[in-house]
Amino acid sequence: MLRAQNLDVRRAARCVLHGVDLHLRAGEIFGVLGPNGAGKSTLLGALSGELVATTGGVLLADRPLHDWPSRERAHRLAVLPQQSSLSFGFRVEEVVAMGRLPHAEGRAADSLIVEQALAAADACHLEGRSYLSLSGGERQRVHLARVLAQLWPGAEGRVLLLDEPTAALDPLHQHSTLQAVRGFAERGAAVLVILHDLNLAARYCDRLLLLHEGRAYLQGSVDAVLQAEPLHDVFGLDVLVQRHPERGHPLVVVR
C-alpha cells in the first residue's frame, strides 16, 4: 500500500525527521503518537507528497509517490490536514463534493457518495447549511466526509492520511469519527492517523509508531508500544497501563 523507507526530511538546516521506516497495510489503522515537535505532521507531509524527502522515499503500491500523476494519485490517496479552511460560504454538501473532483462518475453517482460520506461522518444533519456557519468541530466532520468521499467506499488500494482528526471534537464525536475511520479500514483501505489521546489510540489502532525528536522511538502492536517505560521516556509521563475492563485493550492512566 504505502511504504516509507529510511525517510529523512530537512527544514532549513534542521533535520526534523530522520530514518523513519513504516508500511501501511490494507484493512488496518496505523496510529502515530508523539509530543509536540516530534515530527508527526512532517511525516504526514512526506507521506502525502507535500514535503520532499531529503533522503529515502515513499512508495505507493510499490511505485515512487512522485511518479504518480496527480489525478491518479488522488484516486488512491487522500489527506485530512490538521487545519482545513474555506473562506467562501459553500453549502456543506458542496464542500464534501469537492472530494469527488478527481473522479468522473457522473452527478448522480457523486451525489449518492456524498450522502454516504456525510452519514459515515455523522454530518447528514448539516446538509444545506453554509460552511461558514459551522462550529470548528462541525467543520472538521465535514472535511472528514470530504476525504471519505474522495476514496469512497474505501476498498483495498486506497490510503487515508489523517492529522489529528479528533482535535476539535467533543468526546462523542471523537469516537464516532474514529468509528467511521475503522469502518473505512474494514472495507480494505489503509489508514494512518495522528493522535494525541493515548486511550483513543489504544481502542482504535492496530499498530502504533511512537515518534520522539524526529525518530521512530518504538513501532509495533498497541500492546508493545503502550508501555509505561517508553511513554515516560517520550512524553515524560508517569503512567499506569492497565487493561480495559470490557474490551481488553491497554488503558493508560496518569499517576
Query: How far is the C-alpha of 175 from the C-alpha of 140, rounded, in Å?
Result: 14
Report which of residues 229 and 86 the model is more confident about. 229
Q: Is the pLDDT of residue 25 over 90?
A: yes
Q: Give the integer Cα–Cα distance in Å for 5 and 55.
A: 9
Q: What is the mean pLDDT of residues 227-234?
A: 97
Cell numbers representing residue 117 in the block: 460520506
- Asked whether 147 and 80 are in contact (CB, 8 A), the reply is yes
Question: In a 3-state reduction of DSSP, which class is residue 246?
Answer: coil
In this structure, what are the phi and psi dihedrals at residue 140, rounded to the nearest 5 degrees?
Answer: -60, -40
Q: Report the predicted TM-score, pTM, of the whole model to 2 decimal places.
A: 0.95
Q: pLDDT confidence of 231, banded at 50, 70, 90?
A: very high
Locate 19 and state its grid cell: 530514518
Res. 104: pLDDT tops 80: no
pLDDT tens by residue, 37-87: 999 999 999 999 999 899 999 999 999 999 999 999 999 999 999 877 777
* pLDDT bucket at 14, cuts 50 / 70 / 90: confident
Q: Which residues contact 168 (CB under 8 A, 6 or more apart)?
A: 136, 137, 139, 140
Cell of 226: 503502550
Q: Across the chain, what does the average pLDDT equal?
A: 94
Q: Where are the beta strands (DSSP E) in 40-92?
A: 55-60, 63-64, 77-80
Torsion, Cα of 32, 153, 76, 118 (10° steps) = -70
CATH of 2-84+156-254, one of 3.90.1010.10, 3.40.50.720, 3.40.50.10440, 3.40.50.300: 3.40.50.300
pLDDT of residue 213: 95
